[in-house]
Amino acid sequence: MFRDLADLSQWIVEPPRSSTMATWRSKNLLSVVTLGPIGLGAVFKVVYPWVCSWPTFLAITGWTGLLFFSSAINPHIMMRARNKAKGSEGAVFVSQQEALSMLPAGAEETCIILEVNGRAVAYPDTQVLRPHVANGGDAGEDIVLTYCGLSNLGIAYTPSLGGKPLDLHPMTQLENNLVMYDKNSMEPVQQLWGTTENRMECNCGLSKVERMQEWPTYRMTLGNFCKEHQREARLPNAEDL
């Protein structure tokens, strides 16, 4: 689990896709296999204290627990998706003035811009790096921006497949690209593919597989974004274009 799913190990180890997917789908069983012996060992240590010394027991259980935490728990804490349209789990959007003053790089902050039906929002790279998935805000509550921290790639999708909504959350990184999972079905979703892993496993090619609806995005600095949309807001009619 640590090798295939932990965030830290991905900087060093590049497991094959088959191994990563098999580990993800077996993670509950692997969790039991990991935590069960730790609990059993604790019982034996209390009942039969001479089995091993406390330093040895704590070293074994501590190291195993650290690997388990890094792979099964920490990714869901560090990379909590902000893809809810409403509620505490949703992304928080601020005004242009607030963004310029609160972000370290200010006007030079690089942003991914999502514009839908004349409404635009800017996602600073530094702010979407941690959650990896954030809702569309004023640009559309049924749209989420997915962001890969390795390639700085932002892709906006309508999270729905087969008429069913997807609740996307970060899973791991694979082949230098973000892999998410649908919390409703627990099925992995490759960011670049825009569809679930089980759909791709039919080997019928991406062009023939149902994908989430993709929305165009573009990049500019926060300063240029503010200037552009302030300019548009001041135009009283089309004759001033």
29-78 per-position pLDDT tens digit: 999 999 999 999 899 889 998 888 999 999 999 999 999 999 999 888 88
Q: Say if residues 96 and 226 touch (Cβ distance below 8 Å).
A: yes
Confidence of residue 161 (pLDDT cuts 50, 70, 90): very high
In the structure encoding, which two tokens stand for residue 81, read together?
Answer: 């998706």
Here the tokens at position 194 are 């825009």
Longest CA–CA span in the chain (Å) reads 88
Q: How far is CA 166 from the centre of its chain?
A: 13
Taking residues 7-17, report their average pLDDT. Answer: 81
Q: What whole-number percentage of the chain has pLDDT above 90?
A: 55
pTM of the predicted model, to two decimals? 0.84
